[in-house]
Every structure is written in C-alpha cells, then in structure tokens.
Amino acid sequence: MKITDAKVLITSPGRNFVTLKIYTDEGIYGLGDATLNGRELAVASYLSEHLIPCLIGRDPFQHEDTWQYFYRGAYWRRGPVTMAALGAIDLALWDIKGKALNTPVYNLLGGKSRTGVMVYGHANGKDLEETVDEVGKYIALGYRAVRAQSGIPGIPSTYGVAKGKFHYEPAEKGLPPENIWSTEKYLLHVPKLFEALRLKFGDDVHLLHDSHHRLSPIEAARLGKSLEPYHLFWLEDAVTAELQEGFRIVRQHTTTPLALGEVFNTIWDAQTVISEQLIDYIRMAPLHAGGLTHLKKVASFAEMYHVLTGCHGATDLSPVSMAAALHFDISVNNFGIQEYMLHTKQTDEVFPHSYHFEAGFLHPGDAPGLGVDYDEKLASTFPYERAYLPVNRKLDGTMFDW
Ligand SMILES: [Mg+2]
C-alpha cells in the first residue's frame, strides 16, 4: 500500500478544528487530528508546506519508521506545532492500518485490558453553591468522577468556569480575552469548595481539580495539604510545567495525588517528573504527544515508576483525538482515567464516531481503525475564524499564566 495524497481540512462547528486526511492507492483513507488551540493555522501550514510532500509514496503500515523520519529527520524538532503535525500523521496511519486489517486500533495496541474507560466530567459554577449543584448533575448522569472548578469571590472570571455549563469553551473569536487572577483568593476558596462537595456527596465519588499551572511550588504544596482531608483523585497542573524539578517541593509536602503533562510534547518533557515519581498521573494525549506511536512509549516508561495515564480530553481535541485516546486507554495496563468534555452537537455531526458513553465509562466501539469519520460537506459550512485562549493578569495588572 502507498500513500497517494493528503490534505488538511479546517472547520469551525462551534470551535476550530484542523484535520489531516491521508489517502492510499487501495482506496482506504485515515484521519488525524491536528488541532492546536489558538495556533491552528501554524500546524496546518507545517503539514501542507513541509510534511505532506515527504509523505507521498510512503507505505502507511510503516508508522514507526515514518515517525522517526519526521522526528529524527528534522534538525529543528519538538515543540507543540511540530509534534501536533507529527501526531496527526501518526493517528491517520494507525487509522489506515486498522481499516486495512479490518480491526479497531486497540487490537493493534495490545487488545482490551479493561471493559470500559472511566472518564471524568467537568462541573463548574459561578460560585460554590452552583458548583456543588453542577457536580450533582454529573453524578446523576452516572459519572464516577467529576472535576470541580468554581468562580472565586473577588475575581470577575477565572479558568474552568463556563458560560454554557456542559459545553465549556475558553477560546474566543477575535483577540484574546483578558482574565484577572489572585492566587491568595484562590487558595482560600478551593478547600471550602471540596469540603462542601464531600459533605454533600460523601466519599465514593472521585473528585478532581485543576490549578491550570498558576501556583508556585510552595503555593501548590499548601493547596495540596489543605485538600488532603477531601482525598482528591488528583490535583492537576499545580505548577507551570517547564520546571519539572519544582514538583520536588510540592511532593515533599503533600500526599494529594498530582497530575501533569497536557502541554508536554515528548517523553523528554516528562522524564524528571516520572523517573523521580514526582507525579501520579501523566496527562499527555495522543495528538500533542506526537501520536500513539510516541504515547505508547511514554506509558511504558511511566509504568516503571507507578505513574498512571490520564489523557487530556478537552474540547479543543477533536473526536478523532478522543477516539485515539480511548483505543490507547483501553489497551495500556497503567491506565488511570480519561478526561471527557462534551463536544457540541455540530462537532459530533461533523465527526460521526463509534465511541459512546455508558454509566461513567466511554467505550471506543468496534469499528475498524479509530472509528471516526469526517463529513466534508457539512464541515465546509463552518468556516474557520481566528480564535484565542484568554490571557491572564494579576489584580495589579502584571501579566500572568493563563
Ligand atoms: Mg489542565
């Protein structure tokens, strides 16, 4: 089999998505997600201008060699744009191989290691009371695990609090919106939220929280310690991810489990936090970690250090990415949990898929390949519009991490 063509498809059914479609001489095509939130056209251009010309004529079954060709073959390598483009190619090749062999991708990754993939939903509210109510709605829908984010008294807007509740989408069209931040107000508020949640819902439901890379190591240590009575499933992205050594301080002070890595691109980004057992869950997802070929290696490395997986699953990852994550999740031994944010109805219609939710678990379905298709005609009715994630400033105007 030979690759005959590939094209980059861009659509915006509620938010922007970049999709790579690879064609073969046997009539089989594969799909890869190439979406990088707020930088979509950079990946599209990297694919069209630099990678696709080198893909034509290659055997799609040799995805390890193709991965190495684009990774090692590029002197200027790594980084989110490069690795998202490589991830899209890799996912499309796994999709082609599954379709050609008439089997779901999880069978190529080792088969099923479990009956379903436990997911967590995103509950959020403008204040503590509303957030408690929203967590209750997810529990009523059958979720076993819920992430809780709440508005903070004295701060007009913050990360994780939606306008549309079930469809949280922080990216906005136009120029980047500005948020305001106070670490002190946040640190005082979050333990009260989890105290209220445990009082209301008891000990059985798994509760998660995301600090979105906004704390210093000692602040994260304080938060982790103050949350210990409420036994979180994890505290996510406690500290900016560039300084892996910073997690040593957090780890020395708290037993709250830590999750990190949605912004990581390669195994090297996670080397210290995994090998020193500074985290409990690695959040890298197939697309932004250069595809399933590379993520399998990250999972095997993590397995040696008792680190479980917890793939990023925000709405800025298309259903192609979600499907790839589910094939991965159901097959690796050291799976922990999968993030699951609902896409809009229009997105699901552009990307018909075989995965489905049942009683707190997602199932990848048994369609060959990744089990996702792309309705090009419908997609073309949703043209791309430039959009950005917000930026963030402290109360005194200082630029800060969003
Ligand atoms: Mg996060």
Distance 261 CA to ligand 1 centre (A): 8
CA pair distance 88, 309, nearest whole angstrom: 20
For residue 213, the model assigns a pLDDT of 95
Domain membership of residue 340 (yes or no) is yes
Q: Look up 374 and say whether it is catalytic.
A: no
User: Ligand 1 centroid vs 196 CA: distance in angstroms?
Assistant: 22
Distance (Å) from CA 100 to ligand 1 centroid: 35
* 190 closest CA partner among 233, 220, 170, 163: 220
Q: How far is CA 187 from the centre of its chain?
A: 25
Q: Where among 62, 80, 104 does a domain terminate? A: 104
Distance 33 CA to ligand 1 centre (A): 19
What is the residue range of 27's domain?
3-104
Ligand 1 centre and the CA of 238: distance in Å?
9
Tell me, in angstroms, the distance from the centre of ligand 1 to residue 286's CA.
15
In a domain, residue 189? The reply is: yes
Q: Cα–Cα distance between 104 and 95 in angstroms, integer?
A: 8
Residues 186 and 76 reside in one and the same domain: no
In a domain, 385, yes or no: no
Q: What are phi and psi of 232, to 5 degrees?
A: -65, 150
Residue 231, class by beta-carbon neighbours within 10 Å (0-12 exposed, 13-18 middle, 19+ buried)? middle
CA 214, chain centre distance (Å): 18
> Residue 14 carries which DSSP code?
S
Q: Are residues 100 and 113 in the same domain?
A: no
Q: Is residue 15 part of a domain?
A: yes
Give the CATH number, domain containing residue 67.
3.30.390.10
- Per-residue pLDDT band for 156 (boundaries 50, 70, 90) equals confident
Domain boundary among 71, 104, 137: 104
Percentage of the chain surpassing pLDDT 90?
94
**So what's the pLDDT on residue 321?**
98
Closest to 124 in 3D by CA, of 224, 236, 238, 210 = 210
**Is residue 396 included in any domain, yes or no?**
no
Res 401: pLDDT:
94
DSSP state of 244: G
CA of 292 to the centre of ligand 1 (A): 20
pLDDT at 180 (0 to 100) = 93
Q: What is the mean predicted confidence (pLDDT) over 215-238?
A: 98
76 and 222 in a single domain? The answer is: no
Closest CA to 239 of 222, 225, 260: 260
**pLDDT tops 70 at residue 164:** no
Same-domain check for residues 124 and 49? no
CA 212 to ligand 1 center in whole angstroms: 5
Q: Report the pLDDT value the prediction gives residue 171, as an integer from 0 to 100.
A: 87
Cβ contacts of 240 within 8 Å, gap of 6 or more? 213, 246, 401
| Same domain for 280 and 214 | yes
Averaged pLDDT for residues 260-286: 98
For residue 160, how far is its CA from the centre of ligand 1 (angstroms)?
9
Ion ligand 1 — residues with CB under 5 Å?
210, 236-237
Confidence of residue 159 (pLDDT cuts 50, 70, 90): confident
Do residues 20 and 118 share a domain? Answer: no
Strand, coil or helix: 239: strand
Query: Does position 287 have pLDDT exceeding 80, yes or no?
Result: yes
CA atoms within 13 A on the CB side of 215: 25
Same domain as 145, residue 283? yes
Cα 57 to chain centroid, rounded: 32
**15 and 134 assigned to the same domain:** no
Domain with residue 270: its CATH number is 3.20.20.120
Asked whether residue 393 is domain-assigned, the answer is no
Is residue 357 classed as helix, strand or coil in its secondary structure?
strand
pLDDT of residue 141: 97
- Joined tokens for residue 241: 């991810």
Same domain, 12 and 159: no
Q: Respond yes or no: is residue 71 known to be catalytic.
A: no
Annotated catalytic residue, options 63, 189, 212, 288: 212
Question: pLDDT tens digits, residue range 64-119?
Answer: 999 999 999 999 999 999 999 999 999 999 999 999 999 999 999 999 999 999 99
Instruction: Tell me the CA–centroid distance for residue 236 and ligand 1, in Å.
Output: 6
**234 and 314 housed in the same domain:** yes
In the set 71, 106, 138, 159, the catalytic residue is 159
Domain count, the chain: 2
Backbone dihedral angles phi then psi of residue 369, each to the nearest 5 degrees: 75, -145
Both 139 and 250 in one domain: the answer is yes
Say what angle helices 80-100 and 292-303 make with each other, to 10 degrees: 100
Residue finishing a domain among 104, 138, 165 = 104
Question: Residue 168: which pLDDT band, with cuts at 50, 70 and 90?
Answer: confident
DSSP secondary structure code for residue 395 in this structure: T
**Using one digit for the tens of pLDDT, what is the confidence trace for 363-378?**
999 999 999 999 999 9
Residue 328 has what pLDDT? 98
Position 41 in a domain = yes
pLDDT at 230 over 90: yes
Q: Could you tell me if 75 and 163 lie in one domain?
A: no
Contact 277, 249 (CB under 8 A): no
Q: Is residue 212 part of a domain?
A: yes
* Mean confidence (pLDDT) of the chain: 96
